[in-house]
Structure 1
Amino acid sequence: MRIAYSPCPNDTFVFHALAHGLVPGAPKLDVTYADVDKTNHYAAESDDFDVLKISYAALPWVLDRYALLPCGGALGRGCGPLVLTARPAGPEALAGKRVAVPSDRSTAYLLFRLWEARHVPGGVGEIVVMPFNRIMPAVRDGEIAAGLVIHEARFTYHEYGLSLVEDMGRWWEEDTGLPIPLGAIVARRSLDRGAIASWIRASVEYAWAHPEASRDYVMRHAQEMKPEVAQAHIDLYVNAFTADLGEEGYAAVEALLGRAAREGLVPAFDLSALR
Structure 2
Amino acid sequence: MKIAFSPCPNDTFVFHAWVHGLVPGAPELDVTYADIDITNNLAVSPNGPDVLKISYAALPWVLDDYALLPCGGALGRGCGPLVLTKNPSGTQDPAVLAGRRVAVPSERSTAYLLFRLWAARHVPGGVGEIVVMPFHEIMPAVRDGKIDAGLVIHEARFTYPAYGLNLLVDLGSWWEADTNLPIPLGAIIARRSLDRQAIAGWIRASVEYAWAHPEASQAYVMRHAQEMDPAVAKAHIDLYVNEFTRHLGEEGYAAVSALLGRAAEEGLVPKVDLAALRG
TM-score tier (shorter): over 0.9
1:101-142 Cα distance to aligned partner (Å, 9 max, x none): 111110000000000011111111111112211211111122
Any unmatched runs of 5+ in structure 1?
none
Asked whether the 8 Å contact 2:35–2:134 carries over to 1, the reply is no
Asked whether the 8 Å contact 1:101–1:148 carries over to 2, the reply is yes
User: After superposition, where does 1:27-176 map in structure 2 within 5 Å?
Assistant: 27-87=27-87, 88-89=90-91, 90-176=93-179
- Count of aligned residue pairs for this structure pair: 275
Q: How much has 1:223 moved relative to structure 2?
A: 2.3
Q: 4+ residue runs of structure 1 moved beyond 4 angstroms?
A: none
Q: How much has 1:46 moved relative to structure 2?
A: 3.0
1:4 aligned residue: 4
Q: How much has 1:45 moved relative to structure 2?
A: 1.3
User: After superposition, where does 1:162-201 map in structure 2 within 5 Å?
Assistant: 162-201=165-204
Any unmatched runs of 5+ in structure 2?
none
Separation of aligned partners in 2, 1:273 and 1:36: 24
1:247-270 Cα distance to aligned partner (Å, 9 max, x none): 000000000011111111111222
Q: TM-score if structure 1 supplies the norm length?
A: 0.98
1:17 aligned residue: 17
Separation of aligned partners in 1, 2:35 and 2:46: 16
Q: How much has 1:224 moved relative to structure 2?
A: 1.3
1:173-230 Cα distance to aligned partner (Å, 9 max, x none): 0000000001000001111111110110000000000000000110111121111111
1:121-173 Cα distance to aligned partner (Å, 9 max, x none): 11111111122112111111222111101111100000011110100000000
Q: Quick check: 1:210 aligned with 2:213?
A: yes
1:224 aligned residue: 227
Q: How much has 1:97 moved relative to structure 2?
A: 1.1
User: Between the two proteins, what is the percent identity of the paired residues?
Assistant: 80
1:254 aligned residue: 257
Name the amino acid aligned to 2:175: W
Separation of aligned partners in 1, 2:184 and 2:272: 18
